[in-house]
Amino acid sequence: MNDAVHAYFGGLGSAALSPTFALSAFFTIVVAFVYHWAIARPRFGRRPMMGGGSHSSGAAPDLQELRSRVAAMESASANALQSVGFVRFNAFPDVGSELSYALAVVDRNGNGFVVSSIYSREEVRTYAKSVTRFVADKEMGAEERAALDLAKERTGKPR
């Protein structure tokens, strides 16, 4: 092994003296320098210091911007479907394992949908109902109402 390492580095010495090696090393250094100054430095340059830095003018506007962004996110989250109620049940007495279900998904204001799936030995039927302010657009079964009530509890709204 020592002979192989010695032969490798011995041959490398004569290659390092060749003009091709010198030119490629020079261009590699130039490309690294240009990349650093032209691309990496502007993109990943100095970042503001966190907490107690010496920046006197940057802290207050950044904090105000964060507060306004958080407020915008909180107001937008009211319209996000975020509360879920799920109820499994047996739709028919001869079918076990609670393969039927009702799923209610609503936002903070009670707008969303209810999907129910009724399983029997011969077929499966799926129904969807729109919900506005916790009231469905079609008549709901007891299980669908229970799923919507679960979703309503998770929004924090009173029954």
Q: State pLDDT tens for residues 89-118.
A: 988 877 778 889 999 999 888 999 999 999
Same domain for 91 and 147, yes or no, is yes
Please check the confidence at residue 74 and state whether its pLDDT lies above 50: yes
Kindly report, residue by residue over 23-66, the tens digit of the pLDDT.
Answer: 787 878 888 877 777 776 666 655 555 554 444 445 566 888 88
pTM: 0.54
Give a yes or no: residue 21 inside a domain.
yes
Total number of domains in the chain: 2
For position 45, what pLDDT does the model report?
A: 58
Give a yes or no: residue 77 inside a domain.
no
Place 145 in a pLDDT band, splitting at 50, 70 and 90.
very high
Same domain for 151 and 87, yes or no, is yes
Same domain for 92 and 138, yes or no, is yes
Please check the confidence at residue 157 and state whether its pLDDT lies above 70: no
Give a yes or no: residue 31 inside a domain.
yes
Share of the chain above pLDDT 90, in %: 31
Average pLDDT over residues 123-149: 93
Give a yes or no: residue 9 inside a domain.
yes
Range(s) of the domain holding residue 25: 1-45
Give a yes or no: residue 53 inside a domain.
no
Give a yes or no: residue 38 inside a domain.
yes
Give a yes or no: residue 60 inside a domain.
no
Give a yes or no: residue 96 inside a domain.
yes
DSSP string, the chain: -HHHHHHHHHHHHHHHTSHHHHHHHHHHHHHHHHIIIIIIHHHS---PPSSS-S-SSSHHHHHHHHHHHHHHHHHHHTTS--EEEEEEE-SSTT--TT-EEEEEEE-TTS-EEEEEEEE-SS-EEEEEEEEETTEESS---HHHHHHHHHHHHHHT---
